A and B are shown apart, each in its own frame.
Chain A
Amino acid sequence: MGFLWYLTIRIGGALATIAAGSFLIFLIMHLAPGDPALAVLGESATTETIAAYRAEHGLDEPVLVQFVIWAKMVLQGDLGKSIALAGKFPISDLLVTRLPNTIFIGLYGLVIALVISLIAGTAAALRQGKLVDTVATGVAVLGISMPDFWFSYVLILFFALSLDWFPSYGFTPPGESLIGAFHSGFLPALAIAAPMAGVFARILRASLVETARREYVTAARSYGFAAPFVFIHYVFRNAIIPFVTVLGLQVRYLLGGVVIIERVFGIAGMGSLIVDGAFARDYPVVQACALTFLAIVLSVNLIVDIVCALLDPRRTR
């Protein structure tokens, strides 16, 4: 199987998953109890205003018809209008302001987690059973078992309220000021990164230790290669493959963490948007958000799969 063939199959699969997933999202939103018209117009609405509202937003059509209409619009890049939020914004406008914030915080957290785990995991594996290993493993367990919001409050108390190094609330969008975004996003990113860094570091350590026992590592030493060369090109190079795979699986938890952290730190991102939308029964907004999350997860999985395929010739060649 050639690499291009592999790529085609994976992209096709991702597109099919998005199609099926978006239908499922649509169905769930429409089967959920509660009338969006009532939620928006309030208890005082008359039968006429409700009927007019339903007609305006196409709520009277059968679900399947509504889905087809929606899907056509989405394919043309039109995500519809919010039905609850004041001003009835086009949802794409909402996404344009919200999505960059979420992606920024998510990537920021991911990079912090990667840097910490690469250093800690490698150090622990190289100093197996020594002090560094014990400390790194202990901290990793702590990072994994701390609840996100609790750790956020600890960070706020210490770095924002006591030391006043970072703001405790609010976020400067990267579009406004990149430096401001890095500064105001540091604590939320760190809060997201902590549990991930713990998981990543442990996976990397285990993978490095396991790979170091392989016969090809002994063979490499038997050729007289220097220890750093053997570590980089034989041990690390092969240990990184399961590491990247697990990393891809973690991204869905990353999104879950983002939803919580955006609330705690008051960040206007996708997480707070989907939560607000759900409370307001603003199903076009929730649908659009869910679709976006799905697209993010699938793209990340796709990227991870491609990276793995490039790293591991046994998968595609």
Chain B
Amino acid sequence: MSDVTLTLRNLSTGFKMGGRVMNVVREVDLEVRKGEMLGLIGESGSGKTVTGMSILRLLPENAVTEADTLDFLGIDLLKLSTEQFREMRGTRLAMVFQDPVGAFNPAKKISWHLKQVFERAGTKSPAHAERAKNWRASAIKLLADVGIPHGANVMRQYPHQLSGGMLQRTLIALVLVFEPELIVADEPTTNLDNIVERQILRLFRDLQKRLDCAFLYVTHDMTIAAVLCDRIAVMYAGSIVEIGPTKQIFADPKHPYTQGLLASALALDTKTERLQEIPGELPSPGKLPPGCLFEPRCKFAKPECRAKEPAMVDVGGERHVRCVLYGHG
């Protein structure tokens, strides 16, 4: 399909621990399409950040990433050298981080950050070179685009002098200098308070309409995914357990884990007395259960669930589920 921006096939990432590799992301298949926002959902520690960082090759040296396919607009990302990959970063593949305060160089002013990115952009094309020459004006315009009207003031500040919301907008502006074709946003509103979070979410929705790029939006919050994402991929213990269009998943969640996530999100929404948490905990990467990874916490578990890990099953309507309740694939 020509409208697919990113294709992952069988992506696994682990960390070297005392001689062996401990996988925390396993056999992930995903497609992110042009103009869509794909939500990657799962509880803390399920491997969402590692997945995003694997795509951009941002993990530390002790990480090992393997995949059958890592295709970005016809470019085989697996074949790129370190230097070739670096050229792609920022320009065509970008990332927005969870903690905006921690994502800025604390020793440098905001203007310094913008200047560096504009200057790097300037070497790429004549149009960019023009913007880089007038980087100050271009930066102010870009800041206005992400909802910072007084950009000149903001540029004079050091990161610690700005609020989290302001920094997150600035971080988004930095990413937008190049108009990348894929943006991975890693829980970009988790560290913000409610009102600011809503403003940033609105900004993301506007961006998605305006830019027509592919978004991989990582979050643990079902309600955010509901308002932002076209499709949702649910991740559990490093595996995708369900994927499909947002509306259908909300109307009829198939995987017991997705059902649990939705129930607890709804419980929060309607302020039900007791919070409907899913009982139990994520298995640790070193001690995965033999069959279905969710089996220890699943209320529908049957003996056959422990035999082997269920395969992804196509349940129609662009939906896929990894659970024996829906067949064996």
Q: Which residues on A are within 8 Å of B, measured CB to CB? A: 213-216, 218-227, 233-234, 237-238, 241, 311-314, 317
Residues of chain A within 8 A (CB-CB) of B88 are 224
Most B-side CB within 10 Å, residue of A215, A216, A311, A313 = A216
Stretch at the interface among B21-29, B92-100, B213-221: B92-100
Interface range for B? 20 to 34
Residues of chain A within 8 A (CB-CB) of B91 are 224
Q: Which residue of B lies closest to A227 (CB)?
A: B86
Q: How far is the CB of B144 from chain A (nearest CB, A)?
A: 21
Pair B120/A215 contact, Cβ less than 8 Å: no
Is B108's beta carbon under 8 Å from chain A?
A: yes
Pair A238/B106 contact, Cβ less than 8 Å: yes
Most A-side CB within 10 Å, residue of B88, B99, B103, B109 = B103
Q: Which residue of B lies closest to A238 (CB)?
A: B107
Is B198's beta carbon under 8 Å from chain A?
A: no
Contacts A225-B120, A313-B158 given; indicate if A215 touches B107 (C-beta within 8 A): no
The docked-state distance in angstroms from the alpha carbon of A237 to that of B88 is 26
Q: Which residue of A lies closest to B117 (CB)?
A: A223
Cβ 8 A contact of B97, one of A219, A226, A233, A234: A219
Q: Which residue of A lies closest to B83 (CB)?
A: A226
Pair B90/A224 contact, Cβ less than 8 Å: yes
Can you name 19 extra interface pairs (CB under 8 A) apart from A233-B116, A314-B160?
A214-B102, A215-B102, A216-B103, A218-B97, A219-B104, A221-B58, A221-B86, A222-B89, A222-B95, A223-B117, A223-B174, A224-B86, A224-B87, A224-B91, A225-B116, A237-B105, A237-B107, A238-B106, A314-B158
CB proximity to A under 8 Å, residues B135-191: 158, 160-161, 171, 174
The docked-state distance in angstroms from the alpha carbon of A223 to that of B119 is 12
The docked-state distance in angstroms from the alpha carbon of A223 to that of B53 is 13
Q: How far is the CB of A222 from chain B (nearest CB, A)?
A: 4
The docked-state distance in angstroms from the alpha carbon of A215 to that of B102 is 6
The docked-state distance in angstroms from the alpha carbon of A222 to that of B99 is 14
Binary CB contact string for chain B from 66 to 102 against chain A (1 if under 8 A, 0 otherwise): 0000000000000000000011111100110101001
The docked-state distance in angstroms from the alpha carbon of A227 to that of B106 is 18
Pair A219/B103 contact, Cβ less than 8 Å: yes
Q: How far is the CB of A10 from chain B (nearest CB, A)?
A: 20
Q: Which residue of A lies closest to B184 (CB)?
A: A222
The docked-state distance in angstroms from the alpha carbon of A314 to that of B53 is 29
Pair A224/B120 contact, Cβ less than 8 Å: yes
Q: Which residue of B lies closest to A212 (CB)?
A: B60
The docked-state distance in angstroms from the alpha carbon of A213 to that of B174 is 21
Cβ 8 A contact of B105, one of A221, A238, A317: A238
Pair B102/A223 contact, Cβ less than 8 Å: no
Q: How far is the CB of B118 from chain A (nearest CB, A)?
A: 11
Is B293's beta carbon under 8 Å from chain A?
A: no
- Report the 7 A-B pairs with minimum CB-CB distance, sorted nearest first: A224-B90, A224-B89, A215-B102, A223-B90, A219-B103, A222-B95, A313-B158
Is B241's beta carbon under 8 Å from chain A?
A: no
The docked-state distance in angstroms from the alpha carbon of A241 to that of B106 is 11
Residues of chain A within 8 A (CB-CB) of B56 are 222
